[in-house]
Structure 1
Amino acid sequence: MELRQLRYVVSVAETGHFTRAAERCHVVQSALSHQIAKLERELGARLFDRTRRQVRLTAAGEAFVPAARQALDAAARARAEVAAVTGEVRGRLALGAIGTVTAVDLAALLADFHARYPDVRIALRSGASLELIAEVRAGGLDAAFLGVPSGFRPTGVRHRRLAVGELVAVLGPANPLAGRPVAALRDLAAEAFVDFPAGSAARAQSDEAFAAAGIDRDVAFEVSSVEFLGQLVGTGLGVGLVPADFATQLSGVRVLPLSDAPARVEHLVWGQGPASPATAAFLTVLDSHHRETGAR
């Protein structure tokens, strides 16, 4: 079994197509097909069901691909470790982030890291905090930026608190409350809310605050992005709660501070095992940026 064979199988699984997989791997299709067939003979099982229109993983393929990805990741990690000994940092850095990171300027941080370590390939995806924690725990991500309620503690990962802030209310310009200098959660009880999906860490920040105050509320609209939340609020369909440092980035809404505002904590989480050279370098660059901005 060779690493190139594993790479070919993973590429076919991800593209669903032998030709596109061959293009991705920079080989001719016949060579890729030959190596996969050779691997299948060695394993004694077919990895793909092939038809004219599609390529699908067999049950054996479904079992094989995750292990193949782990082997490829381990090989890449080994190469990166050797390079680090010689003073080079290379490899891949897979990051996750919520859409409302305020503790650092994430774009500037990534640009600085890329300038310092151009041989590291950065991958970034956005998502919900709980999903990102699970991916870091499983090894799919090297590190992730989260926004969670103040009492939340990430488990199964290492973590660092980056910032503590508060949520503010955002309202449509025509909302009668929009002219107030400050309000309380109880003043919003009669409003329809735009919020994140139930069960998410972003939603829990608001749910826990209203529950602690003994206030029922109506979440009429569930959204997956803060930008869409701002659009719905701007039309007057409802009100929302967003991080105070992020609220000014939303257009067409009015910001209303709250006297009993829910607290919000931003964390960085990363795996419990030894950090890869790229991850260790990223943590160092993050430290310098965090010191410049100052912990809030």
Structure 2
Amino acid sequence: MELRQLEYFVAVTEEASFTKAAARLYVAQPGVSAQIRRLEQELGQQLLDRSGRTVRLTEVGAAVLSYARKALDGVAGMRLVVDDFTGLMRGRVSVGMVRSCSSLDLPELLADFHKDHPAVEITLTEENTDRLLDDLRNGALDTAVVALTTTTPPGVDLHVIADESLVAAVNPSNPLADHTTIAIDKLREQSLISLPRGTGMRACLDHACADAGFEPRVAFEASDPNVLAELAIRGLGPAIIPESLATLRSEELHAITVTSPWFRGRMALAWRSDGPVSPAARAFIEHARAVLPTPDASSPTEQLA
């Protein structure tokens, strides 16, 4: 039995796909399939059910999975201990970031870390918050800049970068422009403009509406908050955007405070709260926490995506 067979088995289980697992591991898909078949042959039992559209665990596979994870965590822990004793900085750091995060100078942060640790390989992935959090928990990412509601997701630790109210921004000709404050229920019949599902701002909107007993009618979706503002300026409905962005466009948009505890978003650096962390990843997280802004010092425009 080889460690890579256990690694491939865990990856296929978490991705529910041989193809996705191979892409995550940067290996060819046939190699993943072959190694898992060898593992099954050695154990004398089928671990994965390949008959459906997605790969599922068999009963035996479900029983084996926790032991495979413990074995991999044990080996990773041994490597961390040795690296700590030797002071060796090697390996790779996998970083994620939310879409439309232009106001945060993540490229400079990555470049500065690379100058200090040129032997560490750094990768960067852009995704929506929900996928980034999944990748943090399953170990595909070491750390990520994510957009969140006021609730901290389980399984991660946070360094909050920005904390800001969201508003409903409308063209001054919109009937809602007569208000400076509205109850969340006033958005029930509105055709809204919002980021897509999986983003922090959309989660804030969905949670607030669910708390009021309805599902928002989102007519226009875009991945860039500036595009949302432009749609609202053109009279297509209320846009759910950060307050700071509405302030920047105050000559063209009227910002309305929504009286809901959910109408607030945060941007944060996140990392997995349990499981081993490589010395390289730990060094990057410490470096990022030292240089990233805090809510008191940041200018959060465009960050809550």
TM-score bracket, normalised by the shorter chain, equals: 0.5 to 0.7
- Corresponding letter in the other structure for 1:281: A
Residue in 2 aligned with 1:237?
A: 236
Distance 1:113 1:57, change over 3 A: same
Cα distance in 1 for residues equivalent to 2:157 and 2:200:
18
Determine helix, strand or coil for the equivalent of 2:123: strand
What is the 5 A alignment of 1:175-214? Answer: 176-177=173-174, 184-186=180-182, 191-196=190-195, 201-203=200-202, 205-206=204-205
Q: Which has the larger radius of gyration?
A: 1
Q: Deviations over 1:229-278 (max 9, x none)?
A: 5675576433311124566999xx95444466844332333333364323
Task: Give 5+ residue unaligned stretches, structure 1.
Answer: none
Distance 1:278 1:293, change over 3 A: farther
What is the 5 A alignment of 1:63-212? Answer: 63=62, 68=68, 71-72=71-72, 75-76=75-76, 78-101=78-101, 104-118=104-118, 119-128=120-129, 132-133=132-133, 136-137=136-137, 139=139, 141-150=141-150, 152-171=151-170, 176-177=173-174, 184-186=180-182, 191-196=190-195, 201-203=200-202, 205-206=204-205
Determine helix, strand or coil for the equivalent of 1:122: strand
Distance 1:161 1:49, change over 3 A: closer
**Could you state the TM-score of these two structures normalised by the residue count of structure 1?**
0.63
Distance 1:248 1:94, change over 3 A: farther
Contact 1:146 1:267 in 2 (8 A): yes
1:95 Cα deviation from its structure 2 partner: 3.8
Determine helix, strand or coil for the equivalent of 2:89: coil
Distance 1:260 1:282, change over 3 A: same
Cα distance in 1 for residues equivalent to 2:248 and 2:140:
30
Determine helix, strand or coil for the equivalent of 1:267: strand
Determine helix, strand or coil for the equivalent of 1:284: helix
Once the two structures are overlaid, the 10-residue window that deviates more, 283-292 or 134-143, is 134-143
Q: Let me know the Cα RMSD of the aligned residues.
A: 5.2
Question: Identity percentage over the alignment?
Answer: 30
- Corresponding letter in the other structure for 1:99: R
1:125 Cα deviation from its structure 2 partner: 4.3
1:44 Cα deviation from its structure 2 partner: 0.4
Cα distance in 2 for residues equivalent to 1:50 and 1:154:
32
Q: Deviations over 1:29-57 (max 9, x none)?
A: 6x984x55543222102456789xx9966
Distance 1:245 1:145, change over 3 A: farther
- Corresponding letter in the other structure for 2:273: Q
Residue in 2 aligned with 1:219?
A: 217
Contact 1:168 1:255 in 2 (8 A): no
Contact 2:91 2:121 in 1 (8 A): yes
Contact 2:229 2:241 in 1 (8 A): no
Counterpart among 280, 283, 304 of residue 281 in structure 1: 283
Contact 2:129 2:198 in 1 (8 A): no
Contact 1:89 1:120 in 2 (8 A): no
Contact 2:167 2:258 in 1 (8 A): no
**Could you state the TM-score of these two structures normalised by the residue count of structure 2?**
0.62
Cα distance in 2 for residues equivalent to 1:55 and 1:154:
26
Cα distance in 2 for residues equivalent to 1:157 and 1:12:
23
Q: How many residues align?
A: 279
- Corresponding letter in the other structure for 2:286: T
- Corresponding letter in the other structure for 1:221: A
Contact 1:171 1:256 in 2 (8 A): yes
What is the 5 A alignment of 1:1-40? Answer: 1-7=1-7, 16=18, 25=27, 33=34, 36-40=36-40
